Structure 1
């Protein structure tokens, strides 16, 4: 029975992946910050699904190394920018390789924020990245978000002691579901669209950065989770598709359509105006609102355009499209209001 170690089990992505792993005959170890949640995981899913929850965080580098060193496959679904944690996981996988002579697998969560520019919502970008065009990806600056960690993983793969597969989700939407959500163990909402909804409710009007002319890809949470499982299933294939790559070429975008920020702001505005709040046309966030609502910066105003060609070539088949994303806005508004 393959041994799996997963981080981010209580998160939006990690929980969706774990929900699917629990349906398979795996020996699963997860890292959970809360002792109470770890106990609930063990009591609810431990014996039935061969799952063990260990209390710890990405700050516990020695523990990360130990748990990664015991696994055949590691799913890293927590902080995409924690370089120290990524190196600790890789150290454990190097230990595993030294003991067995077989390179273990790391399936790491990055994000298409690595493609972001400084458009501030004022213009579209003609640059569309393909995960089949490695030379194009290698033009990205090491200073781009997530890129420093991604490059360390690629270098580790080149040394032969680990096989790395890097998944880069775009704007994820939809409500996660399943036994982890029902047990109160998993975050069931995304970040980008709910954040825009919350801000729009506070200001009483749908909004956008600049003119909202920037473009992002989008993908449903269930389709994202299926990409992780598609990669996992291909690991055991005697003859996987020729484009099933790892390391330097092992980048997998997760998208199934793209949208402008204006279109999201408009969808929110239409829902709110139907409730008697503001007009059906989004307005630009003022400088004061940007400072108040987005203290970490307005990356939502950037362009992040990509095509998930590699995933399609290896058998991933996402089913939801941009219209599904726009239609999901009403549910997000209802969810925010019900809190």
Structure 2
């Protein structure tokens, strides 16, 4: 049976995915790579993985060696780390000619932002990205939020030696399935922004569109991609036709900020449960202010044809 190397098993998405692999593909050989050395008993006894390898993402030689010996690599560990993706790709490339090899990479819809407007308002003319339009996927570049690793993965798949599959989920929220209380990226950046400013901001009137989905909506789609990788003798279509956008509930950024403000206030992180309108230049550092200031609409016909269905969950 094929072997899988999983990055991110202790994270928000990975904690759900590693259990789903146990339940849906019990005969596959699963290796997990992670830094945390306190999860071995849980991973072996509960998640039923076959091997745990400890290391950090900057140990590229170790990652290359692992990727070289596994049929399928699933990276839900980082959508930001270019050297990690380069090491994974290098290891897969070093496998013998003719051996089937696949890479399933989780990115994010933070790439798909229309920066023509940064006033925090809804704009009906904002670009709507589609995973069914290869030209939209061809725009992906290292200057985008997650574009560096995405570019590495897409380039690796262009010669068809590696079957690449890239999924772009929107803002992920929810609770981890394992013993580590891991946060999704959007949860983390809201928390850090609240600590930085002392309140939760939104930009301008806050009517710009944000999209979010519950972590439990992602795992079934990742299993669909794995099924695709397992059944295809060789990658079908271009690398851009193996890109999938998945999302959930659309809401104004003001609504999202208000929900986070109430949650973080209840935890004692900030003193007020009310979100506050600010100008873009007053929203501080990092990627969150630009996301809040802009619109990020998209559609997902390719993911839906593969079987993606979003079931509404309360944010």
Q: CA deviation at 1:159?
A: 1.3
2:303 match: 311
1:19 match: 19
Specify whether residues 45 and 2 from structure 1 end up closer, same or farther in structure 2 by C-alpha distance, changes over 3 A only: farther
| Whole-angstrom CA distance in 1 between matches of 2:239 and 2:302 | 14
User: Where does the alignment leave 5 or more consecutive residues of structure 1 unmatched?
Assistant: 329-339
User: Where does the alignment leave 5 or more consecutive residues of structure 2 unmatched?
Assistant: none
Q: CA deviation at 1:42?
A: 5.3
1:331 match: none
3-state SS of paired residue (1:35): coil
Within the candidate set 92, 97, 102, 2:99 is matched to 102
After TM superposition, the score normalised by the length of structure 2 is 0.83
After TM superposition, the score normalised by the length of structure 1 is 0.78
1:36 aligns with 2:38: yes
Greater displacement, 202-211 / 212-221: 202-211
Within the candidate set 246, 251, 256, 2:248 is matched to 256
Deviations 1:143-162 (A, max 9, x none): 21222322222222121210
Q: CA deviation at 1:290?
A: 2.7
Q: Number of aligned residue pairs: give it.
A: 305
Q: CA deviation at 1:109?
A: 1.1
Deviations 1:61-113 (A, max 9, x none): 11111111111111011222222221111111112243xx1331100011111
1:82 aligns with 2:81: yes
2:219 match: 225
| Whole-angstrom CA distance in 2 between matches of 1:317 and 1:83 | 30
1:234 aligns with 2:231: no
Asked if structure 1 preserves the Cα contact closer than 8 Å seen for 2:190 and 2:288, the reply is no
| Whole-angstrom CA distance in 2 between matches of 1:197 and 1:65 | 34
Point out the structure with the larger helix share: 1
Q: CA deviation at 1:122?
A: 2.4
| Whole-angstrom CA distance in 1 between matches of 2:63 and 2:208 | 38
Greater displacement, 88-97 / 61-70: 88-97
| Whole-angstrom CA distance in 1 between matches of 2:225 and 2:251 | 26
Specify whether residues 15 and 268 from structure 1 end up closer, same or farther in structure 2 by C-alpha distance, changes over 3 A only: closer
Deviations 1:118-171 (A, max 9, x none): 444522242110100111332345421222322222222121210000011111
Specify whether residues 187 and 247 from structure 1 end up closer, same or farther in structure 2 by C-alpha distance, changes over 3 A only: farther
Asked if structure 2 preserves the Cα contact closer than 8 Å seen for 1:112 and 1:170, the reply is yes
3-state SS of paired residue (1:218): strand
Deviations 1:287-307 (A, max 9, x none): 79633xx45562331322211
Pairwise CA RMSD of aligned residues? 3.2
2:132 match: 132
1:333 match: none
| Whole-angstrom CA distance in 2 between matches of 1:222 and 1:297 | 23
